[in-house]
Amino acid sequence: MTSFDYLTQRQQCLREHKRFRNLVARELDGVHVIDPDGRRLLNFGANDYLGLGMEMRGNQDHYGELSIGNADLDLRVAGGSGASALLSGWTISHEQLSKQIAELEETEAAVLFPTGFAACSGAVSTLAEAGDLILSDELNHASLIDGCRLSRAECVVYPHRDWQKVDQVLQQRRREFSRVWIVTNTIFGMDGDIAPLDCLQEVAEQHDACVIADEAHGTGVLGTDGSGVCDALGVKSKIAIRIGTLSKAVGSQGGFVAAPRVIVDHLINHCRSLIYSTSLAPSAVSAALAGIGEIRTRPERRQRVQKLARQVRSELSVNVTSKLEASVPIIPVIVGTDPRVIEVSAQLAKSGFYIPAIRPPTVPEGTARLRISLSAAHEAEMIDELLVAIRRLL
């Protein structure tokens, strides 16, 4: 595994100068915060200028009487966190969630972000520095691409899933750079295909590089423990830095980075999308805790959606490169032209099915498609009706 001793040395310097920052788990109680040592302090560190968040957290009865349109206010009761994680926005629940994620991912630590986009762009732009090289898959998510652009590292975009090209570049240029980061989605969101993580990790080991894997579509869906593709391909213990989202299979909102403690501490002290963003709302944290709990204790959910994915891919003759890939619940149906895919999507809507039409620039020219996203909540009859409707139109 890549050594992060250089970060340990930097953090020691911060400690010596009293500039090292930790996340402190506090309890929010109206206008007060309660420190880990039990002190109840008046909170002058939040940005809750009108006191609405404080009231919602501390006076459920008052807000239960309000009516805003037809909205269900249950999720508003907890209010927002009121501040960034380094101020007063890191609560005991945030701490609990980060530990649950670290346990699922089997890493030393994890840290939460307000969105998956913030986690990806923030982690990549913070870790990759001037004098480094990033190798980025050409079909990586926009958040990873933005992270590459925001960093001061040189970035080489390699052909989709082409680990041999990564190896070739490093054979020719590795000595030019202090550090090398191989950045990839584990599952690509528009095609539902899987990165060759085992091959990429082998290349990384040969060239003293570090893989950063974004498990946005893998968390909760694949792996014997539900942690994602890294586990499914047997490289979970080797890929040190894994990014995930709480807004897909977990069923909440937010993102995370699971990594060695030194990496997490580096992000806490330097990652702008973490430091300067209000932390996750308590309601999102609670929902994520419930979602992680389901993933860890109810494997039948992911087994069901995997089974549905294999069925639909087989029925629609969607090509896959492996049995694992056949279990991914993102299924592209390539239509071709923009007008045609819009027409087909509209016809499906008339038949009672919402399947979005995905067009350039999200996907390459000439590959406009329907993107089918399956869920364990879909019943067998729903799948059968969907397949009949698609066959009728295509």
Within a domain: 44: no
The count of structural domains within the chain is 2
Residue 367's domain is classified under what CATH number?
Answer: 3.90.1150.10
Within a domain: 66: no
DSSP code for 303: H
Q: Which of 296, 315, 337 is the last residue of a domain?
A: 296
Identify which has the larger pLDDT, 155 or 76.
Answer: 155
Domain that holds residue 221: 5-22+82-296
Quick: pLDDT tens for 280-326: 998 899 999 999 999 999 999 999 999 999 999 999 999 899 999 99
- Give yes or no for a contact between 208 and 2, defined as CB atoms under 8 angstroms apart: yes
Within a domain: 49: no
- Kind of pairing between the strands at 357-358 and 368-373: antiparallel
Asked if residue 389 and residue 247 are part of one domain, the reply reads: no
Q: Residue 213 corresponds to which amino acid?
A: A
Residue 183 CA neighbour count, 13 Å, CB half:
35
Tell me, what's the pLDDT at 78? Answer: 56
Asked if residue 312 and residue 208 are part of one domain, the reply reads: no
Within a domain: 76: no
Asked if residue 259 and residue 153 are part of one domain, the reply reads: yes
Within a domain: 56: no
The rounded distance, in Å, linking the Cα atoms of 240 and 253 is 23
- Give yes or no for a contact between 220 and 329, defined as CB atoms under 8 angstroms apart: no
Residue 286 CA neighbour count, 13 Å, CB half:
11
Nearest to 223 by CA among 209, 205, 244: 244
Among positive and negative, which fits the CA dihedral 227, 229, 232, 233? Answer: negative
Task: Dig out the tokens for 40 from the structure.
Answer: 């109840």
Tell me, what's the pLDDT at 57? Answer: 66
Asked if residue 214 and residue 109 are part of one domain, the reply reads: yes
The rounded distance, in Å, linking the Cα atoms of 283 and 273 is 20
Q: Residue 266 corresponds to which amino acid?
A: H
pTM of the predicted structure, to 2 decimals: 0.90
> Is the peptide bond prior to 159 cis by the omega test (within 30 degrees of 0)?
no
Nearest to 370 by CA among 383, 382, 381, 359: 359
Asked if residue 348 and residue 311 are part of one domain, the reply reads: yes
Q: Which of 250, 265, 296 is the last residue of a domain?
A: 296
Instruction: Please report where in the chains the tokens 């980025």 appear, as a residue.
Output: 136
Q: Which of 296, 318, 336 is the last residue of a domain?
A: 296
Asked if residue 269 and residue 143 are part of one domain, the reply reads: yes
Asked if residue 288 and residue 334 are part of one domain, the reply reads: no
Residue 195's domain is classified under what CATH number?
Answer: 3.40.640.10
Quick: pLDDT tens for 68-114: 344 444 444 457 888 999 999 999 999 999 999 999 999 999 999 99
